[in-house]
Chains A and B, each alone.
Chain A
Amino acid sequence: MPFDILVLACLGYVAFLFGVAFWVERRADLGRVGWLQSPLVYTLSLSIYCTAWTFYGAVGNAARSGLEFLTIYLGPTLVFVGWWWLLRKLVRIGRQQRVTSIADLIANRYGKSNLLGVIVTVISVVAATPYIALQLQSVTLSFGVFASATPEGWGLEDRGVTAMWVAGGLALFTILFGTRNLDANEQHTGIVTAIAVEAVVKLVALVSVGVFVVWGLVDGPADMMARINASDLAAWDLQPSRWIGITLLSAAAVICLPRMFQVLVVENADERHLATASWAFPLYLFLMSLFVVPIAVVGLERMPAGSNPDLFVLSLPLAEGRGGLAMLAFLGGFSSATSMVIVAAIALATMVSNHIVMPLWLAVLPKRAVAGDLRGIVLLARRLSIGGVVTLGYIYFAMSGGSAALASIGLISFAGAAQILPAMLGGIFWRGATKRGAVLGLTVGAALWAYTLFLPSFGPGAVFSSGLMADGPFGLGWLRPQALFGVTGMDPLIHACFWSLSLNTGAFLMGSLFSFPGPLERAQGAAFVNVFDAEAGPRAWLRGTADPEALLIMAQRILGEEEALAYFEAAARAQGKAGYLPDPTPAFVGALERRLSGSVGSATAHAMLSQLAGRAAVSVEDLMAVADEAAQIMEYSARLESQQHELTRTARALREANEKLTQLSVQKDAFLSQISHELRTPMTSIRAFSEILREGAPPAAAARHAGIIHDEAVRLTRLLDDLLDLSVLENGSVQLDLELANLQQIIDRALLAAAQTRPERVFTIDRDLPREAIFLRTDPGRLTQVFINLISNARKYCAADRPELRIIVRQKGGRVSIDIIDNGAGIPKAQQALVFEKFARLPDAARAGGAGLGLAICREVMANLGGTVTYLPGQRGAAFRVTVPLRLEKAA
């Protein structure tokens, strides 16, 4: 296959990935994330665990040591299947504390110590460098496989150039998408999706080659089994120490590798995705491993002796003349390598910029740190770090010459990353873990790893002379790098892991036991270990002297102006304040710190806030006092709450009672003044006329005067009768004469009686007699009284020229409603609510003859009859509806 086409395919593929990332970022900017943050994409992004080391190296590994290659995937499988133990907690902590990297996690847990951040960063960078070199090497080798098949051949010096081009291209791609913005959560949707696409490509490629081998080159699975048992590969020995050791190592690596932590914790958009990944990611690993042994066996059979088993995936299809399949395999390997380098570079660059560059910047130029936009600096630091990390990988590749077998390089890297494990596990499960212990453990572990594994890996004579390897430094035999403390006969890898991890753990435990944690450490320890218990851990800030405006200025420099303003405004609103400046409460400062650590890491964020918040560090006593207070408050609050509820209830009841009393008092006053007025008017005329009579009036006039006095006395009596009636009705002590009565007769009687009111007016009565033929069991006298009242009112007040009166009877269920409607002006809306009150009279009281008790009595009568009388609005006239039950029981 022409080499140019290969390069062209590579460029096309990268352009395609570029397009995917770009399109996704555009969608994310528009807020249409949707399936882009699905469990599937999350799971696929986790597959950066399978780098070129898996894609090419697993086959090589299987060819050399049989089924042992499986351990590298069994460890992660156990970790993911057991997500309830560890991963769930890790992801929760990562989200709650807005962790930006594994270095940030460790630094944050141990009192936001930047020292620890630096240590973890250095370990990670050193451990990742060979791994990145490994990816460059595999891409270069795969290019070489194609190139050597071409007539013009391919010189060794070209490999360096190829690796440089690949490294440069990857760095550019990573910078373009990895540092586009300083996101609060350090999430890179575009990159993650591109990685998910690459995950599919590499799975499809490897499975395709596997299917081709099993069904194309061999006669199906059964034949395959026979060949496996017959091949050289079957001669492998299961070494228990390596079997256990590598399983543990890969289990540790899957959580400690910076790139895995990045996709697993930092890029996690939803905790529930983890549940899916718990089985889907092992499934991915399963499928990736399924065809490894067949490819290795067939490769060993068919390829010429001495060919590199690491490249069987590529060389086998090529040797069989399957150019297309080889192309697919090449792209799969290319995907594996590029995705690993991109994510590793982002993760490491975040760590380097947050834990090394930014603190240095703040220390060297504290003035500049107080003014100016920090975001540019952070982004620049990150871009430079990406370039630096990839360059380091390239330098390692160029120096090592790319000769070592892929698998051994990968395991060295794993062992380095695994040094972080004790500090991490201790940090999230043991509150007693301290910063001193973590520093001790990490330093001891890293040093031993470097001494026993990393430095010897450069080969004898490169860093350690062969004399030192054989006899130990200064002839001290017990310090031989690969036989420490006289332990010989152990596999070098297992030897290194055994000593580094056990002494690491020991130093960590001892250091923790014999040191006393600072207050911030204790606060963070509680927040991490009890992440599922408390909503938020104890606060590390006291009500300080921070000036909100200074906080805002600082936040603007990290988050950007608009976002910081929006954040502060939201916080101020949550505190019930208007404007942009919330009170610097401990809660707010704590939340702001977490927000800022999402951008620059917890240690830097804490250090920057400390400059402004005055007393940055709380003392142990403060912490205990706060916790104590919190406990007491918790205890009291429940009691207080119930008491408060009770008080609120009582207060409400009292208020209601008070309102009622006030109303009653007002009513009573109004009633008394009304009644006095009503009694006084007739009294005045009676007195006046009786005085005239006493002074001797002519008989004719005397008779007239006596008549007036009589009339007024009658009016008085009627008023008093009404009042008495009303009071009897209101007390409910009225005697009802229940009997069966015909409604029609009742209305007849009422019309007749009411006709005496303003007899000069002639009303057109509109009735529907058949419908009135209803027998009611009620007090007919009282009911008639109500009707008389309503009809009289109509006669009195209806101002129409041709007055009409409609009486409509309806029966519905056990109730009968009688509407009495005239065609007058009706009652104004404002008065409708009042007409049934005592002494309520319409404004044109001139024509009113009564005291305004009529409707009040009606209402009481109806209440006693178990019915109602209401004003019926919207009838183009005054309208009242009387409802009565068909059968009134005695008890009512």
Chain B
Amino acid sequence: MSRRGPLFVARQSYRRRRLRDGARLLPLCGAFLFLLPMLWSPGTGTDRGTAPDGIYLFAVWAGLIVVAAILSPKLAGADDGATSDGGDEA
């Protein structure tokens, strides 16, 4: 599509786009943190307890929920006009 928006946008639109970037980044962050325990317990799990691992996972989980809850109303509110997937540069 040749219909590109302007190269630079006003402060408000800029913030909105970074918000969307944040929303896209969130699951990647979550995936990284959820996969981290794989590196902690190589082979035997003798030196590590299950409870701390569980607490870590639930804490990350809760963090994701909180961040998503903060982001989502703003994203939903910003969902007007050009919401094109591709043209979100700068």
Q: Which A residues contact B (CB, under 8 angstroms)?
A: 66-67, 70, 74, 77-85, 89, 224-226, 228-229, 233-238, 240, 243-244, 247, 271-272, 275-276, 278-280, 282-283, 286, 289-290, 293, 530, 532-533
Can you name the residue of chain A whose Cβ is closest to the Cβ of B66? A279
Can you name the residue of chain A whose Cβ is closest to the Cβ of B45? A237
Known: A74-B57, A77-B30, A229-B50. 4 other contacts (CB 8 A): A74-B34, A78-B30, A238-B38, A279-B66
B-side contacts of A235, CB under 8 Å: 45
A82 and B27 in contact, given A238-B37, A533-B84 (Cβ under 8 angstroms): yes
Q: Are B54 and A228 in contact (CB under 8 A)?
A: yes
B-side contacts of A81, CB under 8 Å: 26-27, 30, 64-65, 67-68
B-side contacts of A532, CB under 8 Å: 83-85
Q: Is B20 an interface residue (CB 8 A)?
A: yes
A67 and B57 in contact, given A235-B45, A236-B45 (Cβ under 8 angstroms): yes
Can you name the residue of chain A whose Cβ is closest to the Cβ of B40? A238
State which of A79, A243, A286 has its C-beta within 8 Å of the C-beta of B38.
Answer: A243
Main secondary structure of the interface of A (DSSP, over half): helix
A82 and B23 in contact, given A77-B30, A228-B54, A238-B38 (Cβ under 8 angstroms): yes
Q: Is B58 an interface residue (CB 8 A)?
A: yes
CA distance A293 to B50 in the complex (A): 10
Main secondary structure of the interface of B (DSSP, over half): helix
CA distance A439 to B83 in the complex (A): 32
A234 and B45 in contact, given A286-B58, A533-B84 (Cβ under 8 angstroms): yes
Q: Are B50 and A79 in contact (CB under 8 A)?
A: no
Can you name the residue of chain A whose Cβ is closest to the Cβ of B19? A84
CA distance A279 to B76 in the complex (A): 13
- Tell me how far the C-beta of A522 lies from the nearest C-beta in chain B, rounded to whole angstroms: 15
- Tell me how far the C-beta of B5 lies from the nearest C-beta in chain A, rounded to whole angstroms: 12
Interface size class of B (residues with CB under 8 A): 35 or more
CA distance A290 to B28 in the complex (A): 23
Give me the 9 closest cross-chain CB pairs, A-B, nearest first: A82-B27, A275-B76, A279-B68, A279-B69, A84-B23, A234-B50, A229-B49, A275-B72, A225-B51
Q: Are B41 and A275 in contact (CB under 8 A)?
A: no
State which of B1, B65, B76 has its C-beta within 8 Å of the C-beta of A286.
Answer: B65
A-B pairs with beta carbons under 8 Å apart, 26 shown: A67-B53, A70-B54, A77-B64, A78-B34, A80-B68, A81-B27, A81-B67, A82-B28, A228-B49, A228-B50, A228-B51, A229-B50, A233-B50, A247-B31, A275-B73, A276-B72, A279-B65, A279-B68, A279-B69, A279-B72, A282-B61, A282-B65, A286-B62, A289-B58, A532-B85, A533-B3
Q: Are A275 and B34 in contact (CB under 8 A)?
A: no
Can you name the residue of chain B whose Cβ is closest to the Cβ of A227? B51
Can you name the residue of chain A whose Cβ is closest to the Cβ of B21? A84
- Tell me how far the C-beta of A293 lies from the nearest C-beta in chain B, rounded to whole angstroms: 6
Q: Is B11 an interface residue (CB 8 A)?
A: no
B-side contacts of A79, CB under 8 Å: 27
A-side contacts of B30, CB under 8 Å: 74, 77-78, 81-82
B-side contacts of A234, CB under 8 Å: 45, 49-51
Q: Are A82 and B24 in contact (CB under 8 A)?
A: yes
A84 and B45 in contact, given A236-B50, A238-B37, A282-B68 (Cβ under 8 angstroms): no
